[in-house]
Amino acid sequence: MTRILPLLALAAGLAPAAALAQEPAKPGEQTKPAEQSKPAEPQAYETQIRNNKGDTIGTLKLRDGANTLVARVTIQPGGLPPGWHGMHFHAVGDCSDTEKFEKSKAHVNHDQSKHGLLNPDGPDEGDLPNLFAGQDGSANAEVSSETPLTGEGGLKDGDGSALIIHANEDDHASQPIGGAGARIGCAVIK
């Protein structure tokens, strides 16, 4: 009779699987399933977003979790032309050529996938949803990458990475950058 009790408890959903593998709790002792242990604090860092004049137009806050990252983009009023703007992680953390931001190179694309969140052969690792700027040119968004770009070998690899904001909307399908056009915002990630 005692041997089938754990099975009954499992069937009833009363015992977490992790708890079954552990020693039975002594009377009065709290069981602590592994799921309740506190996860490591995400590594957080913040960097400035600059325009083609080198002026700061907003901030990028990144939080590295265990499996993916979360990026919060804040653009101040007047920072961007109103409307939708393509936004990607580019391969090199260099925004020093403010007129074109070409030193940030192409998208982060470690697995050589095609560009586009909606592309059947995509997305590449740098792809992100579009950013919408309101009539006053401000924008606020929080996005996550489709692929892990955390830790060593992620965005903060040897030469860093950049967040690039483009002049036009990304259609999420056409090559190489979804028709997003010129690079009008850049943030160094290192």
Residues lying near Cu ion in the complex (CB under 5 A): 88, 164
CA angle 82, 99, 61 (to 5 degrees): 60
What does the longest C-alpha to C-alpha distance in the chain come to? 78
Least Å distance, CB 178 to Cu ion, is 8
Nearest to Cu ion by Cβ — which residue? Answer: 88
Paired with 164 in beta bridges are 88, 186
Q: Which is nearer to Cu ion, 19 or 86 (CB)?
A: 86
Decide whether 19 or 94 has the Cβ nearer to Cu ion: 94
Quick one: 64 or 127, whose CB is closer to Cu ion? 127
> How long, in residues, is the chain?
190
Nearer to Cu ion, 88 or 156 (CB): 88
Question: What is each CA distance from 166 to 13, 24, 186, in whole angstroms?
Answer: 50, 58, 9
- DSSP state string for 25-47: PPTTPPP--GGGSPPPPPEEEEE
Nearest approach, Cβ of residue 66 and Cu ion (Å): 26
